[in-house]
Structure 1
Amino acid sequence: MKNTILIVEDELSLSGYLTKELQFEDFNVLVANDGLAAMETYEAHQNELLLILLDWMLPKLDGMEVLRRIRKHDQVPVIIMTARDYVGDKVAGLDNGADDYITKPFEIEELLARIRVIQRRLENQVEPNQVYQLDEVILDTKSHRVTNAGAEVQLTHREYDLLQFFLAHPDEVFTRDDLLDQVWGADFLGQQNVVDVYVGYLRSKIETPNAGPLIKTVRGVGYKLREATNG
């Protein structure tokens, strides 16, 4: 399992504190203090990274631009660190591909819990290569690619994990708590309605009006992936 964390933070006191605490937890730590340095460090070490802790407000390139550039060709987990506590900013971070966010100031225990969630999720992904298909949607675990009618679908880590879980359990009904435990992990600290948000993201990316819904809402219970159609 990869064990290196890239900290992208221009506040030297905070990056120094986080480096010390994460090294104490036996992580390898890399630090970049601006957006351009973040991209250079990422490109030099991308195959070693467990995750990236990314500050929103950075000199040279802001955190959202760094995230967008990384997401063009990599799904390494990213936790956004931000002093901005507006819901719209959090949604923007998630929409641009962040896996999680944490609002400054935060306790190190909360950050470590969020890192453990990501570690557990990545450990659960270690499995034989497999290809799942539902109608024209195909998920290939070896290439970590999703296509719909032959066109590649860009998914975040969380969207990919949620889709893979549904595809592995077609026509089974899951509550929101079930999905939180299986996809987000038992240590997840967010709210239950995050499941609804990500189901909405998936629907917008993999469903087409003519084909009908792939992910069905089971009123009063939760969600299920419908079975494939014949022919």
Structure 2
Amino acid sequence: MENGSPVRLLVVDDEPHIADLVATVARYEGWQAVTAGSGEAAIRAALDFQPDIVVLDLMLPDVDGFTVLDRLRGEGAMVPVVFLTARDGTADRVAGLTRGGDDYLVKPFSVEELMARLRAVLRRSTGPSWKRSVLKVADLVLDEDTREVRRGDRLVTLTPTEYELLRYLMRRSPTVLTKAQILDHVWEYDFGGRSNVVELVVSHLRRKLDVEGDEPLIHTVRGVGYVLRRAPS
């Protein structure tokens, strides 16, 4: 991490050989890693260990990974979560990303790819502490130092991926950004052509930003991509 302390990783999987493999590779990288084999154990470990990032299986013996994520978010824990699961259906991917997950990797998997994705999520979840910048578009304000986002007087709570996407749109406003540009900047690797992940996160971000009659700020430019700006008067 930027403060010099090792990354704390929680690996949640009911297959011990997978959990131990990921934890061992992470420790080889200099990270601290603990494992949990059930949803309840994962929640207890998360609250006790306070990880910087979580690898979370969907199919657990007690509660599923979605429930674990919901309960962590309910506790106010906005720790980034990467799903690692054998469930490769589109509905599962959509649910994982729109419910606050930051990435979704399907088994069987490459440990090297998983570690690359974890590092990418961590990069976008911890901004540089030496740089302070406040971005503003209309009544939307993003403080890069505190990572606080406000819409008017309302505090907006975002996942690391949502935050990085919003920051990119605000930094480039009023430029129209293509899905490919957003994928390259926010996810930092080839998402296998699944550009619909951008649509999913943008949709989730819109629901958080535009409430109580707020003016929509993220606009779709058909056939091109997205732009964050006031609507033309």
The answer, yes or no, to whether TM exceeds 0.5 is: yes
Of 117, 133, 138, 2:136 maps to 133
Of 29, 35, 40, 1:31 maps to 35
Query: What is the match of residue 45 of structure 1?
Result: 49
Name the % identity: 39
Larger deviation: 78-87 or 219-228?
219-228
Larger deviation: 185-194 or 221-230?
221-230
Do the aligned partners of 1:117 and 1:188 also contact (CA within 8 Å) in 2?
no
Query: What is the match of residue 152 of structure 1?
Result: 155
- Offset of residue 211 of structure 1: 5.1
Counterparts of residues 76-225 of structure 1 (less than 5 Å) = 76-122=79-125, 125-127=127-129, 128-186=131-189, 188-189=191-192, 191-207=194-210, 212-225=215-228
Of 21, 24, 27, 2:25 maps to 21
- Offset of residue 163 of structure 1: 0.8
**Matches of 1:190 and 1:41, distance apart in 2:** 35
TM-score for the superposition, normalised by structure 2: 0.84
Equivalent AA in structure 2 for residue 63 of structure 1: G
- For the structure 1 residues 54 and 190, does the alpha-carbon distance in structure 2 shift closer, same or farther, using more than 3 Å as the test? farther
**Matches of 2:193 and 2:32, distance apart in 1:** 27
**Matches of 1:82 and 1:142, distance apart in 2:** 34
**Matches of 2:211 and 2:42, distance apart in 1:** 37
Task: Note the residue ranges of structure 1 that are not aligned, 5 or more in a row.
Answer: none
Task: Note the residue ranges of structure 2 that are not aligned, 5 or more in a row.
Answer: none
**What are the superposed Cα offsets for residues 27-64 of structure 1, whole Å, 9 maximum, x if unpaired?**
22111122222122211221xx3310111122343321
- Offset of residue 18 of structure 1: 2.0
- Number of matched pairs: 227
Name the SS for the 2:216 alignment partner. Answer: coil
**Matches of 1:61 and 1:188, distance apart in 2:** 28
Of 41, 64, 67, 2:66 maps to 64
**Matches of 1:192 and 1:13, distance apart in 2:** 32
- Offset of residue 119 of structure 1: 3.4
Do the aligned partners of 2:140 and 2:149 also contact (CA within 8 Å) in 1?
yes
TM-score for the superposition, normalised by structure 1: 0.85
- For the structure 1 residues 74 and 228, does the alpha-carbon distance in structure 2 shift closer, same or farther, using more than 3 Å as the test? farther
- For the structure 1 residues 206 and 145, does the alpha-carbon distance in structure 2 shift closer, same or farther, using more than 3 Å as the test? same
Do the aligned partners of 1:34 and 1:59 also contact (CA within 8 Å) in 2?
yes
- For the structure 1 residues 59 and 177, does the alpha-carbon distance in structure 2 shift closer, same or farther, using more than 3 Å as the test? same
Q: What RMSD, in angstroms, separates the aligned Cα atoms of the two structures?
A: 2.6
